Structure 1
Amino acid sequence: MWDRIKHKFEKFPARMAVARKIVELGLKVGENGKIYCGNVEISDVALAKSSGVDRRTIKATVNVILQDEQLSAIFRNMHPAGALLKNIANNLGFGVVEIEAHAGNPGILAKSTELISLEGISIRQAHADDPELEEHPRLTLITEKPVKGELINEFLKIPGVKRVSIY
C-alpha cells in the first residue's frame, strides 16, 4: 500500500502529508470527494490545519486518490480503529505495556502477550504502530490490571525489542 501511495505523491510532499494523516487517523475518502471519520464529515479546513497544509492541498490529494483505482479502493474503505485506552488506562485501573521494537521482527506481539498471559492477566487492547508511519514504532498493550515491573527484563529478551515501559 505505502509503495503505491509514495509513488503517487513522491513529487508532492504536502499531498503525501495529507495522505499520511488520512491513514493515521483512519479517515475515509467518500466517492463524493468528502472526507469522513466513520460517518462524520471532516472539513477540509480542519484536516488542512492538522496536516500543516492549505485546504486546496486537501482537494488536490482527494482528486488524485479518487482518480486512481487502487488508491480509491484503499481510501474509500478506511475505518477508524477506535479509541486507544492508553491515556486513560490508569483512571480505569488498567495497565499499559509499551514496547519499542525494530520493525519487521516477527513474534514480538506473540511473545509479549504470552508473557502477560503467564502472569494470569488478560489483555484489553493491543495496538501496533505502522513502521511506515512512525519512526519509532511501538506496540502498546492495555492489560486488565497493571503488569509487574520485573517483567521488563523478560520483554527485553524478545528478539527485536529495543525498549519497554510499564505503567
Structure 2
Amino acid sequence: MWEKINEKFKKYPARIRVAEKMIELGLSLNEDGKIYCGNLKISDKALATAADVDRRAIKSTIEVIREDEELYNLFSNIIPAGTLLKNIAKSIDLGVIEIEVGSESEGILSKTTNLISKKGIGIRQAYAEDTELQKSPILTIITEEPVKGDLINEFLKIKGVTRVSIY
C-alpha cells in the first residue's frame, strides 16, 4: 500500500501528508468526493490544518485518488477504529501500557498479551501504530486493571521493545 501511495505522490510531499493523515485518523473518501470520518463530513480546511498543508493539497490529493482505481478502492473503504481509551483509562480504573517498538516488531503483540494474561489481567483494548507511519511506533494496551511495574522488565526482554511505560 505505502509503495503505491509513495509512488503516486512522490513529487508532492503535501499530498503524502494528506494521505497519511487520512489513514492515521480513519478518514475515507466518499462517492461525493468529500472526506468523511464514519458518516461525519470533514472540511477541507480541518484536514489541511491537521495535515499541516494548504487546502489546495486536499483537493489535489482527492483528485489523484479518484482517478486511480486502486487508490480509490483503498481510501473509500477506510473505517475509523473507534475510541481509544488511553486518555480516560485512569478515570475509569483501567490500566495503560505503552510499548515503544524498534525496527524488529514481529510477535510483540502476542508476547506482550501473553505476559499480561499470565498475570490474570484482562485486556480491554490493544492499539498498534503503523510501523510505516511512525518513526517510533507505540503499542498501547488498555487493561481491565492497572498493571504492576514489575512487568516492565519482562516487557523489555521482548525482542524489538525499546521502551515501556505503565500507568
Q: Which 4+ stretches in 1 moved above 2 angstroms? A: none
Instruction: State yes or no: 1:45 paired with 2:58.
Output: no
| Aligned position for 2:59 | 59
CA RMSD of the aligned region, Å?
A: 0.8
2:153 alignment counterpart? 153
- Paired residues for 1:17-166 under 5 Å: 17-166=17-166
Question: Which residue in the other structure is 2:15 paired with?
Answer: 15
Aligned length: 167
Q: Is the 8 A contact 1:103 1:137 kept in 2?
A: no
Q: Work out whether residues 33 and 62 of structure 2, in 8 Å CA contact, stay in contact via their aligned partners in 1.
A: yes
| Cα displacement (A) at 1:104 | 4.2
**Aligned residue identity for 1:98:** E
CA contact (8 A) 2:104 2:159 kept: no
In 1: Cα distance, 2:26 partner to 2:104 partner:
22
Unmatched tracts of structure 1, length 5 or more: none
CA distance, structure 1, for counterparts of residue 155 and residue 140 of structure 2? 13
Measure, in 1, the Cα distance between the counterparts of 2:65 and 2:104.
28
Letter in 2 for 1:70: E
Give the whole-Å Cα distance in 2 for the aligned partners of 1:8 and 1:39. Answer: 27
Q: CA offsets, 1:67-123, max 9 Å, x none?
A: 011100000000111111111110010001110112343211011001100111000
Shift of 1:137: 0.3
**1:94 touches 1:146 (CA, 8 Å); kept in 2?**
yes
Return the TM-score normalized by structure 2: 0.97
SS at match of 1:149: coil
Tell me the percent identity: 60
